[in-house]
Amino acid sequence: MCALPAGFRVASGLCGVYGSRDPAHALRHAGVEPVWHNAEVAFGGAPVWTDTTGHVVVCGDVLLYNVASLQAQLQCSARAHGEILAELVRRYGVAEGARQARGMFAVAIWREPERELVLLRDAVGARTLYHARQGSFCWFADRLSVLRRTPAVSCALSLTALRHYLSCAFVPGEETMWRDAQELAPGTAYVFPGDRRILYWEPVQGEWDPEAPLPFYARCLRPLLEDAVQQCLPASGPVGVYLSGGLDSSLVTALAARYAPGAVHTFAIHFGPEYPNELEFSALVARHCGTEHHVLELRAEVVREHLPETLALLDDPIGDPLTTPNLLLGRAAFQETSVVLNGEGGDPCFGGPKNQPMLLHALYGATQSEEDAYFRSYQKCYDDLPELLTPEVQRALRDAPPQSALLEPFFSNPRMPAYLNRLMHINVRLKGADHILTKVNNLTRACGLVGHSPLFDPRIVEASFAVPPAFKLSGATEKVVLKAAVADLLPQAILARPKSGMLVPVQGWFRRELNSYARALLLDRRARTRPYLNSDTVRQWLEYRGDVWSRYGVKLWLLLTLEVWLRVQEDL
C-alpha cells in the first residue's frame, strides 16, 4: 500500500560532520564518501569550490542570479557559482558576502584562517539545510533524509513538531519531525565553534509616502518583476511555467513569454470533469501569451499511487494535497524543458485573501489571542487537537512550550508595525520557507528540473514591505499593487477574478475513491500514527459523522500524509 517504486532512491546531497577526531572516517561510516576533509571537518555528496587563495572552501548547492555583476565587482575570473560565493565570503565576511549573493544556496563553508565551519542558507529559503548534534559532533546535510542516516538522528518524533504539522499542514520554524534534527532558518549562518547564529537577511517594513498614489508603487514594482523573471530564464532553449490561471502564475507566464529566448511551455492540471477546475482561465492566459499549453488529468488513483514516493522526497511531511500533482507536473515538464517557473510568492508577499480572517480578528476577535487566530486561519486540525491527539501525547506536551511561542516574536516585532505586514512576515518566513519553497525545491529537483519562484526574490519581498497595506489587501480585493503593476500584460478576466486556489477534491475523494485506502492505513492496528492519534476520532472522520463545515477531507489528507510519510521513512 505504501511501497516505493522498485529502484527508488532519494538523491544524496551535501552531508558532513564537524568536531570528530577523524571526520573523514565518521562520514564514511555514515555511508558518505568525503570529497574534501581536514582534521576538523569532512564534506561529502556535493561539489566543492575554493576562493582564489584556497582559504575558503564551499561545499553544497549554489545557483546565483547576479553572477555577471559579481564578477565585475570582484574583478575575478571565477565562473563557477560556488567559487564566486567563496570569494565573497573571503573578501566581505559571512554576513555581507551572503547578502551580496543573490540566489539559491545551501552550503557548508570552511574558513581556514578562522578555523571555523559555517552553515549558510539563502535569504528566503529556496534551498534547505539541516543539522544535528551527536555529543561534540555536528552533522549537517541539505536533505533531512540524508541527515536521518547519520548516527546523530534517532527515529524519535518531535511531539511539538507533530502538533504544528496537524495545525498548519507543514512543520514551521527550525524544528523538524525528527526530534534530534533542526532546520537552519533562511537568511541565517550557523558558525562553529561557538554555535553562533548570524541573521544576515530579514525583511523589515520600509517607509512609504502616504501621499503617493497606487500607480507610483506599481511603477516601482514592475521593473523588479521583470528582472526577477528574466534572471530565471535559461540562456537558450525552452522554459516551462506552471500555470493555474490565477494572477501570480499568469503574470509570470506573461513575463516569461515576453523575454524567453525559446518556446514557453505552460502546464495545468485538473482532477476530472466532475470536479471544479480553473482550466478556462489557464487556457485563456496560454492563448493570450502564445504558449504551448499542456493539460494533465490526475485522478485520485494516480495521486494515491505516487503518494509514497512524493512523501519520500519531501523530507518533513507536507499535508498539501498538491504535493503529488506537483511531482507529476514536474515529470511532464521535464519532457519539454529543464527549467520551470511558478507563481509561488504572490499571496505571502502581497496580501493574499487568506489574510482576511486575521484582519477580521484584529477588528473583532478580542476573545482569542492572535496566535490562536492564526493557527485557526489554516482551517486544519488546530481546534481538534484535544480530541485527535492521544492522552499520552497530550500529557507529554503539557511541559512543552505553547504553540503560541512560535508566533509571538512575529506579532510583537517592532520593525513591522503594520498588522498586515506582520502577517506577511509570518507567511514569508514560515509558510514560504518551510512549505512552499521546500516543496518546489525537492520536487522539481527530483524531476531533473531547476525550479524558480521569481515572486520570492528577496528584492520583491523587500519591495512588498515598502508598499502601504491598503495597496496590497483592500477590503475583499487582494494583491492590489501587483495587479496594477501588470495590468497591461493580462486579460481583464484574470485581473478581475477573485483568488480561488487549486481545488483538490479531497472531500469527495475520501468519501469515495480514497476511503478504503485511508481506512486500511489509518485504522490498522500497526498504523504508525496509532501512538499519536485517537483512533475513534479518525474513524469518525472517515465516516463523515458530524462534518458540519465539510472539512473532514482536508483533515484526513493531513493524517493520511503523515501515516504514509512515517511508513516510507522506514524504507529510506
Q: What is the pLDDT of residues 205-252, one digit of tens each?
A: 988 988 999 999 999 999 999 999 999 999 999 999 999 999 999 999
Q: What is the mean pLDDT of residues 172-188?
A: 98
Find the CATH number of the domain harbouring 311: 3.40.50.620
Same domain for 285 and 218: yes
Question: For residue 324, is it within any domain?
Answer: yes
Average pLDDT over residues 117-146: 96
Q: With helix as H, strand as E and coil as C, how does 87-102 read?
A: HHHHHHCHHHHHHHCC
Summarize pLDDT for 185-218 with one digit per residue, the tens.
Answer: 999 999 999 999 999 999 999 889 889 999 999 9
Phi, psi of 262 (to 5 degrees): -135, -160
* 271 or 8, greater pLDDT: 271
The average confidence (pLDDT) of the chain is: 94
Banded pLDDT at 351 (limits 50, 70, 90): confident
Q: Say if 465 falls within a structural domain.
A: yes
Is residue 571 situated within a structural domain?
no
Measured CA to CA, the distance from residue 368 to residue 165 in angstroms comes to 21
How does residue 77 score in pLDDT terms, banded at 50, 70 and 90? confident
Instruction: Measure CA of the first residue to CA of the last residue in the chain; give whole Å.
Output: 16
Task: Kindly state whether residues 76 and 195 are assigned to the same domain.
Answer: yes
pLDDT band at 366 (very low <50, low <70, confident <90, very high): low
Report how far residue 51's alpha carbon sits from residue 111's, in angstroms, rounded to the nearest whole number: 10
Q: Decide which of 366 and 568 is more confident.
A: 568
The pLDDT tens digits of the residues spanning 291-333 come to 999 999 999 999 999 999 999 999 999 999 999 999 999 999 9
Q: Which residues contact 263 (CB under 8 A, 6 or more apart)?
A: 238, 239, 291, 292
Is 90 in the same domain as 194?
A: yes
Residue 71 lies in domain? 15-199
Does 252 lie in the same domain as 182?
A: no
Is 319 part of a structural domain of the chain?
yes
pLDDT score for 501: 61
pLDDT of residue 332: 97
| 356-364 vs 370-377: helix crossing angle, rounded to 10 | 150
Which pTM value belongs to this model?
Answer: 0.96
Angle at 310 between CA 45 and CA 147, to 5 degrees: 35
Residue 520 belongs to some domain of the structure: no
Q: Are the C-beta atoms of residues 90 and 51 closer than 8 Å to each other?
A: yes
CB contact at 8 A, 522 and 559: yes
* 367 has a pLDDT exceeding 90: no
Q: Are 175 and 323 members of one domain?
A: no
* 185 and 315 share one domain: no
Asked if the structure places residue 110 within a domain, the reply is yes
Please tell me whether residues 159 and 285 are part of one structural domain.
Answer: no
Same domain, 194 and 258: no
**245 in the same domain as 181:** no
Bridge partners (DSSP) of residue 43 are: 16, 36
Query: Which residue has better confidence, 324 or 6?
Result: 324
Q: Which of 159, 176, 199 is the last residue before a domain boundary?
A: 199
Answer whether residue 508 is part of any domain. Answer: no
Indicate if 131 and 36 belong to the same structural domain. Answer: yes
Same-domain check for residues 118 and 262: no
When divided into structural domains, the chain yields a total of 2
**Among 476, 496, 516, which residue terminates a domain?**
496
Q: Is 283 part of any domain?
A: yes
Question: Is residue 185 located within the same domain as residue 220?
Answer: no
Position 408 pLDDT exceeds 80: yes
pLDDT surpasses 80 at 529: yes
- From 442, 469, 496, give the residue that closes a domain: 496
Does the structure show a pLDDT above 80 at 361? Answer: no
Higher pLDDT, 347 or 79: 347
Phi/psi for 222 (5° steps) reads: -55, -50
Q: For residue 23, what is the domain's CATH number?
A: 3.60.20.10
